[in-house]
Amino acid sequence: MSEVTAEQAGTPATEAAAHFVTRHGELTAALRLAELAATSRGTILAETRGRAVLLRAQDYEAAVTVTCPAEPATAGRTCLDFAELKQTLAAAAAGEPKRAAAESPVTIDGAQLSTAQLSVPLSAYCVDTFPVPPPTAPPAATVEGPAFFRELARVLPAVGVDPAEPAHTMVRVELSGTLLRLASTDRYRIALADLPAQPWDTADAVPTRTALLPTRVLAKVVKQLSTYAGPVALGITADEAAPLVALTIGATEVTIHATSAAAFPSPDTHMPTERHHAVTIDRASMLRAARKAQALTGTRKAQAGTGGYQFVVIRWDHEGAVTLAPWYGPQEQARVRGGSVTSEVKDGAAADLSGRALLLTGRFLLNALDAFASQTVTLHLATAEATGLYLSPVLFTETDAITGQGYRHLIKPALVDWPPA
């Protein structure tokens, strides 16, 4: 990619360079949003249109367009070095009061940045070197922005990291009728969130479409846009092999190169529909006990007895009372006493829980508890083994219902020598 002068502005003779005036704060915020896709490629395309400038960035996973208000100007395009533009813009406001700097006007004229106090050149490139943006998916439905970002933040911690299982390193998105479903798994747990969706065109039914979205892009979307309070429009193209997913979030449009969901089938097939016991626990008291237990599993004594595994143990006594303790291994566990957890048996006989135990990876339990905001969380338990150990996956829900919509979190228990010596 060759650098050109400000006079050339990187555009053919028949095309004008971008010229616009906007506020420093608005341009800074727009560049922060464009960073969703600008970092790896290193350039950004400024396109003036009416009373706005469109800032376009693109990498191999996503394309982003941010609309920034600007003074009316002649239509034109300029391709600029993204990192340099950010650095120059920040430097131009150095020493100014924050509020005054945000309100001060900034002029971009091709490859020249000017404020009331200074004017400096920028590195510009031929606009033809900027990649052609992918086709966008027309919006099919909208969801409430705060709910969308909340549920995304819930499912992201359960995404896998094993490159040998690429489908499990992404988030599964399914749009069907009036429901948007987000799911993730690392094969040891499943996080599943349902959101009500409003069809874009109420006259037409929303066809069921699925896609796998890269975690890196979604994590950036949550980080950069989670304070947005308006609606989010969502569209998924019909190409099942290589779908595109479009998100319109206020003045930001994100088109994501997705993957076929064939390798990540519906998580409903793994969600239990029956239970032997349902136990509602006080989330705050279990969080306190779980944090202590997880911290203790990292001690030298615990690591020596477990071979490095960091498990926590949930146990029930003869009255159905719950304690949570760190797992120190079968030889040392008799010397370990856990913290009490306030609980109530909602389904099944409390006496049947006597002597039962559930071992979970401590980090997984903390992720599950952190995903809820409710005062209580219900654990849905299948039948325990003859040894008293639960080995079937345990389901965490906000209510007592084992089925239905909402947020659900499934964790596969750990298998250890039980009972301890």
| pLDDT tens per residue, range 41-86 | 689 999 998 899 999 999 999 999 999 999 866 789 999 999 999 9
H helix intervals, 46-200 = 82-92, 98-103, 145-155
Number of domains in the chain: 3
Q: Is residue 377 part of a domain?
A: yes
- What's phi and psi for 198, nearest 5 deg? -105, 115
Cα 44 from Cα 32, distance rounded (Å): 12
Alpha-carbon distances, residue 31 vs 37, 55, 64, 241 (angstroms): 10, 8, 11, 32
Gyration radius (Cα) of the chain, Å: 27
Q: Is residue 416 part of a domain?
A: no
Cα 161 from Cα 185, distance rounded (Å): 10
Quick check: helix, strand or coil at residue 301? helix
112-114 and 119-121 beta bridge pairing: antiparallel
Q: Based on the fold, state whether residues 72 and 190 are members of the same structural domain.
A: no
Q: What is the CATH number of the domain that holds 73?
A: 3.10.150.10
Q: Is residue 398 part of a domain?
A: yes
Q: Based on the fold, state whether residues 363 and 294 are members of the same structural domain.
A: yes
What predicted TM-score, i.e. pTM, was given to this entire model? 0.90
Dihedral of the CA atoms 236, 237, 242, 244 (nearest 10)? Answer: -50
For range 106-117, the mean pLDDT? 95
Angle at 35 between CA 125 and CA 212, to 5 degrees: 115
Q: Is residue 4 part of a domain?
A: no
Q: Based on the fold, state whether residues 168 and 285 are members of the same structural domain.
A: no
| pLDDT tens per residue, range 154-165 | 999 999 999 999
| pLDDT value of position 14 | 59
Q: Is residue 208 part of a domain?
A: yes
Cα 65 from Cα 257, distance rounded (Å): 15
- pLDDT reading at 251 higher than 90: yes
Q: Based on the fold, state whether residues 260 and 277 are members of the same structural domain.
A: no
| pLDDT tens per residue, range 194-225 | 999 999 887 567 789 999 999 999 999 999 99
| pLDDT value of position 190 | 97
Quick check: helix, strand or coil at residue 268? helix
Q: Based on the fold, state whether residues 275 and 390 are members of the same structural domain.
A: yes
Q: Is residue 9 part of a domain?
A: no
| pLDDT tens per residue, range 292-344 | 999 999 999 999 999 999 999 999 988 778 999 999 999 999 999 999 999 99
Quick check: helix, strand or coil at residue 219? helix
Q: What single letter denotes the amino acid at residue 176?
A: S
- What's phi and psi for 370, nearest 5 deg? -65, -25
Q: Where are the beta strands (DSSP E) in 309-406?
A: 311-316, 322-326, 339-341, 343-347, 357-361, 376-381, 394-397
Token pair for 312:
């926590």
Query: What range defines the domain where residue 23 resides?
Result: 19-128
Q: Is residue 209 part of a domain?
A: yes
Q: Based on the fold, state whether residues 400 and 287 are members of the same structural domain.
A: yes
Domain end marker among 128, 154, 188: 128
Q: Is residue 59 part of a domain?
A: yes
Domain end marker among 74, 94, 128: 128
